[in-house]
Amino acid sequence: MWLRNIQISNFRNFSHFELEFSPTLNLFEGGNAQGKTNLLEAIYCLGRGTSFRTSTDQIMIKWNRDTLYLSGEGEIEGNFHKYEFSLSRDSGKIRRVNSHKVSIGNTSYWLWMVVFSARDIRIIQAGPGYRRNFLDELLFFTSPGFSHIRFSFNKVLSQRNALLGLAGEKGGIEDKNIEVWDSQFLELGSKIIYLRLMILRKLESIFCDIYRELTGLNRSCQFIYSCSFFKEKNNNYSIEDIKEIFSSQLKKIRSKELKYRVSLIGPHRDDFKIIVSGIDQRIFGSQGEQKIASIALRLAEVALVREIKKEQPIVLLDDVTSDLDPPRERFLLEALKGKGQIFLTTVDLSRFYPEFLSDSLIFHIENGKVFTHGKR
């Protein structure tokens, strides 16, 4: 899949312009704070209906304007579709594909994009939420129906937590009232955990190969799912196994949940560990090791999407190579070049080796304006 062109109006620091893209490499070059990442964000937003930088959509609208509008043609499996995204201050966001309204959660028309950014290191070093989101994002795209499962689970979870929140107040809550939510909580929760285990196993083997090539070291890599209610070594459970353990643990923990007034076990409390040579990268990895692991993880994501969907994802590189040493930078760029569409931001074109820049389309960005420099 690839994006042929984009039309942007009132997005961040951009007023209005149109760009034609290359199906291979597109380079956005310019100084700091000129709008390079904003352009990547607009591309992502058009393909997915959300931002990769913020959860507050409104701030994407240009200062002093009411409505932002994006449109462009994207290719999926050989067919071009017209994508439109609009967001205004008083009404919400609207996504259209071929002039038909499509919900943001409808994954069948997503242009799949993998964003490499300096923030990725958080997936390795920050809290479990970042790793859960990473896995779930991957499942949204590769596993049809997952978005509905995840959405419903979140609803059940917040209802269940609201109910548990009443514990201890007048009369407390009756068991039968919690049990009403438990059946859906178990059903949906077990499915999420099962799907995460499956995707994690696939991701692990790809990650191992990439990590070895990226570092040139023959190290063993392991992904371990840390579930809130079963032992780490049992990563081979079937969906029925998970449901059974989940159900019995939920009964055991009931009194504790009533005490803390919150759902204590389930996929919303899970995590996964990235182990290299027996060392948990989150806790013991150096900054450099964590950086490499985060890049390997994104590359594994690209490879996995390619394998499952038989499609090349669109790759967005947000100034990601600037703190890599030359051999690793080269490895990363070569791993991506020639396989699908790439959008790359950089402050300095001269840092790239000439063969990499061949057949690329270069855009210069300055103070919210974009100039096409043409092909190299």
Partner 1 sequence: MYSIRALDNLIARLTRLPGVGERTARRLAFHILKQPDEEAIHLADAIKTVKEKVKRCSICNNFCENDPCSICKDERRDRTTICVVEEPQDVLLFERIREYHGLYHVLGGSISPLKGVNPEDLAIEPLLNRLKNGNIKEVILATDPDTEGEATAIYISRLLHPLKIKVTRLAHGLPAGGDLEFADEITLTHALKGRREI
Instruction: Give me the residues that bind partner 1 (CB under 8 A), please.
Output: 90, 144-145, 148, 152, 155-156, 158-160, 162-163, 165-166, 176-177, 179-181, 183-184
**Least distance (Å) from partner 1 to the CB of residue 162?**
4
Q: Does residue 285 contact residue 86 with C-beta atoms inside 8 Å?
A: no
Nearest of 369, 155, 99 to residue 268 by alpha carbon: 155
Nearer to partner 1, 145 or 327 (CB): 145
Question: Residue 339 is which amino acid?
Answer: K
Nearest of 44, 30, 117, 116 to residue 363 by alpha carbon: 30
Give the separation between CA 83 and CA 95, rounded to whole angstroms: 8
Beta-strand ranges (E) seen in 144-232 are 221-226
**Least distance (Å) from partner 1 to the CB of residue 309?**
15
Nearer to partner 1, 60 or 186 (CB): 186
Nearer to partner 1, 152 or 249 (CB): 152
Question: Residue 47 is which amino acid?
Answer: G
**Least distance (Å) from partner 1 to the CB of residue 63?**
23
Alpha-helical regions (H) of the chain: 36-48, 121-125, 128-142, 146-164, 175-215, 239-260, 281-284, 287-309, 326-336, 354-357
3-state helix, strand, coil in the chain (%, to 5): 45, 25, 30
List Cβ<8 Å contacts ≥24 apart for 217-221: 219/276, 219/277, 220/276, 220/277, 220/278, 221/274, 221/275, 221/276
Q: Does residue 295 contact residue 214 with C-beta atoms inside 8 Å?
A: yes
Nearest of 308, 310, 370 to residue 343 by alpha carbon: 370
Nearer to partner 1, 163 or 349 (CB): 163
Q: Does residue 141 contact residue 305 with C-beta atoms inside 8 Å?
A: yes
**Least distance (Å) from partner 1 to the CB of residue 258?**
14
**Least distance (Å) from partner 1 to the CB of residue 161?**
8
Nearer to partner 1, 131 or 160 (CB): 160
**Least distance (Å) from partner 1 to the CB of residue 141?**
13
**Least distance (Å) from partner 1 to the CB of residue 158?**
6
Report strand pairing: 342-346 vs 314-318: parallel
Nearer to partner 1, 62 or 160 (CB): 160
**Least distance (Å) from partner 1 to the CB of residue 151?**
9
Number of neighbouring beta carbons within 10 Å of residue 199: 20
Nearer to partner 1, 174 or 325 (CB): 174
Nearer to partner 1, 158 or 287 (CB): 158
CA angle 153, 176, 167 (to 5 degrees): 80
**Least distance (Å) from partner 1 to the CB of residue 91?**
8
CA angle 216, 207, 215 (to 5 degrees): 15
Report the half-sphere exposure of 257 (CA within 13 A, side-chain side): 22
**Least distance (Å) from partner 1 to the CB of residue 329?**
40
Nearest of 3, 25, 10 to residue 375 by alpha carbon: 25
Nearer to partner 1, 41 or 257 (CB): 257
DSSP 61: B
Residue 276 phi, psi dihedral angles, 5° rounding? -120, 125
Nearer to partner 1, 31 or 165 (CB): 165
